[in-house]
Amino acid sequence: MTQSKVTATVHPAGSLDVLSKYEVSLITDPANKPLKDIFRMCALAVLNTGSKSDNSHEILNAHKDFDIEILQADRGVKLQVINAPSAAFVDGQMILGIQEHLFSALRDLIYSYLQVLHSGRFNLDDSDDITSANFHVLRNAGVLRPASALNLVVCWGGHAISRVEYDYTKDVGYQLGLRNFDICTGCGPGAMKGPMKGAAVAHAKQRIIDSRFIGISEPGIIAAEAPNPIVNKLVIMPDIEKRLEAFVRLAHAIIVFPGGVGTAEELFYLLGILLHPKNSDMPFPVILTGPSSSANYFHSIKDFIIKTLGESAAKKLQIIIDDPEAVATTLKQQVVPVREYRKQFNDAFYFNWQMHIPLAFQKPFSASHQAMSELDLSKNQPVHELAANLRCAFSGIVAGNVKAEGIEAINLHGPFKLKGDAEIMSELDRVLRSFVEQKRMKIGDQDYSPCYELV
C-alpha cells in the first residue's frame, strides 16, 4: 500500500530558534547543493521513523518527490516539508518529537559546516583539535551537562535483532533506569531503542523528570537507522569517526548487545583504544550481554577477539548472560572507580578528556574498493593498530550494506575485496558467516547478498 504524503510548514521545536541569513543561505544557495542534499537525506530519515527498510538508497528512491526548504522570516526560521511521509503527522500536525529531531539535524549540520569543517578553527589532521571539535559539537547540541553522578551508559547493538533479544534490551534498560542511569545509543531501532524504552518506564516509576535519552548518528548512517521516538537529545556528528569518539568520550560505561557488523565496528574501535598503552590503567566498564539464546553469539565474538587481538583484549570485556539485574548492579559498582579516576586526574565527569585516541581512529575512513583492499589485516603491527584496521573493514561492510554511496559503489564495481593473514581471514569469514546465518545483516526476512569477498 502506497503511503500518503503531506506538505506542511513547520516551526522550530527544541534547541534551534533562529538562523542568520548567512546560515540560511548555506542550505538555499545552489552552490552549496551537497549540504542541502545531506540535510534533505537527514530530514527524510527523521520523518521516516519506523521504516522497515535499512537501505538508505532504497529509502531515497522511494521518496524522490520529497523536498525540504528553509523559510527565513523576521521572527525566525521555518521549514517547509514537501511530500513528507504522513506517519510523521497526527491530525495535520507534525509529531513534536519528530519536529525536535528535524530541527536538531538542521542545527548540527549547519554548526558542523560553519564551525568545524570550514572555519579553520580546528586542524582536522591534529588529534587534539579533532577532540576539541567534537566537544564543541556536543556542547552546541546541549548534551554536555555537568553533574556529580556518573550515570550515562552507552548501549551498542544491532538494529536487526530477534524479538527475544529486543525484549532483553528493554529489561536491561529498565534495571538501569531504576538505578538512575541515562541511556545513549546510535538512536535507531532494535538494540538502540529497547534500552531507552525500558529505562523510560523505570524513570517514570522513580519520578525522574530530566531523563536523558541521547541518540548519536551521522549523515551516512541516519537513513538506515532513523531516530527512534524515545530519543530526546539527537546529535548528528559530521562523520562516523566523530560519532564513535563522541560515544566513548561521553560514556561512563558501555553495554554491548547482540548485533552485526556495525556493532563489531563499534566494539573493535573501543578495543583498539583501550588496548593503547596510554589507556592501560584507565577503568572503563564494558559488558557484553544478551538472553540465553544469544550465549553462542557472545562466545563466538570473544573467540574472534582472542584469535585476532589476543587474550589481553578479551580481558577488557565482561560477559553476562540472561541477567539484566546483574548487568545494572555490576555497572553501578564499576562506575565508582571511574569516578575516582576522573577525580584523581581532575577530568570532567561529562567528557572523558583523559582517554587517548590516536589519529588513526579519528581520521575519516572512506570505504572505497581501493581503501578496503589496502587494509593491513596482519599481525605484524601493534595490536591497537590491527584493531583499528579491523574496525575499518567492518565499517566498509556497513557502508556496502546500508549506506547509499556504499551500495552504489558495490553496484558499479562489485564486492569489496579484503585480504590479510590466513588465520585472521579465516576467523573473519567465520564471524561474518555467523552474522548472515543469524540474519544480523538486514532488517526483516530479506535475503542478504554479501558486499564483500575475502581473498
What's the pLDDT at 1? 41
In whole angstroms, what is the distance from residue 37 CA to residue 68 CA? Answer: 10
In whole angstroms, what is the distance from residue 327 CA to residue 95 CA? Answer: 34
For the stretch 191-217, pLDDT in tens is 999 999 999 999 999 999 999 999 999
Q: How far is residue 251 CA from its own chain's centroid?
A: 13
What's the pLDDT at 361? 94
CA distances in angstroms from 49 to 81, 150, 194, listed in the order given: 15, 30, 15
User: Which amino acid does the sequence have at 175?
Assistant: Q
Q: Name the packing angle between helices 240-250 and 127-140 (round to 10°).
A: 80
Contact 59, 3 (CB under 8 A): no
For the residues of 87-142, what is the DSSP string, one character each? GGEETTEE-HHHHHHHHHHHHHHHHIIIIIISSSSS-TTSHHHHHHHHHHHHHHTT
Same topology between domain 5-116 and domain 136-344: no
Q: Residue 246: how many CA atoms within 13 Å on its side-chain side?
A: 28
From the list 389, 105, 80, the residue with the least C-alpha distance to 221 is 105
Name the β-bridge partners of 183: 153, 213
Q: Tell me the fold of 136-344.
A: Rossmann fold (3.40.50)
Q: Tell me the fold of 5-116.
A: MCP/YpsA-like (3.30.1850)
**Residues in the chain, total:** 455
Cell representation of residue 414: 562489485
Q: Where are the domains of the chain?
A: 5-116, 136-344, 364-454
Helices (H) then strands (E): counts for the chain? 17, 14
For β-strands 67-73 and 76-85, DSSP reports them as antiparallel
Cell representation of residue 291: 538472553
Cell representation of residue 82: 514537501
Q: What is the pTM of this model?
A: 0.91
What's the pLDDT at 53? 57
Q: What is the side-by-side strand order in the sheet with 76-85?
A: 5-10, 76-85, 67-73
Question: In three state form, how does the secondary structure of 270-333 look?
Answer: HHHHHCCHHHCCCCCCEEEEECHHHHHHHHHHHHHHHHHHCHHHHCCCEEEECCHHHHHHHHHH
State which residues of the chain have pLDDT below 50: 1
For the stretch 149-193, pLDDT in tens is 899 999 999 988 899 999 999 999 999 999 999 999 999 889 999
What's the pLDDT at 54? 56
Name the β-bridge partners of 106: none
Dihedral-angle region of residue 29 (phi above 0 means left; psi in -120 to 50 means alpha; beta otherwise): beta
What's the pLDDT at 155? 98
